[in-house]
Amino acid sequence: MLVKTKPTYVVMEDLNTSGMLKNRKLSKAIQQQTFHEFKRQMMYKCAWHGIELIVADRFYPSSKMCSCCGHVKEKLSLFERTYRCEACGLEMDRDLNASINLKNYAK
């Protein structure tokens, strides 16, 4: 449980789910998720436990930006699971890279 680690803040992305629904390959999976309810619950739980909830702007390039040097890729397909920076050569899991960027967003 996240609350047991007693974080001072939690950062999450403000996802554009209506835009994601326009992608026919993703629409069924997106409809099955309840992002709005998850966000509402996060807001409630964070407030209850005194944890600051920071919502990153939906245009913040958390997946496209290198967490090491800050270089932003122009394109990054959903099928690319490993982030490779063209500027500094960093290679890491795409989701880990995005989570580091979201952590740094709060600073």
pLDDT tens-place string over residues 15-59: 765 555 566 666 666 555 677 788 889 999 999 999 999 999 989
Domain boundary pick from 59, 74, 98: 59
Mean pLDDT along residues 81-89: 97
C-alpha closest to that of 53 among 42, 62, 61, 40: 42
Residue with the larger pLDDT of the pair 105 and 4: 105
Indicate left, alpha or beta for 23 from its phi (over 0: left) and psi (-120 to 50: alpha).
beta
Residues 6 or more apart whose Cβ sits within 8 Å of residue 106: 9, 11, 54
How far is Cα 38 from Cα 29, in angstroms, rounded to an integer? 15
Range of the domain at 70: 61-107
Q: Extract the tokens encoding 76.
A: 């990054």
- 52-56 vs 82-84, strand pairing mode: unpaired
Determine contact, residues 59/48, Cβ cutoff 8 Å: no
Q: Is the same domain home to 82 and 47?
A: no
C-alpha closest to that of 64 among 27, 95, 106, 25: 95
Mean pLDDT along residues 60-80: 95
State the pLDDT at residue 96. Answer: 98
Domain boundary pick from 22, 37, 59: 59
State the pLDDT at residue 36. Answer: 75
Mean pLDDT along residues 54-79: 94
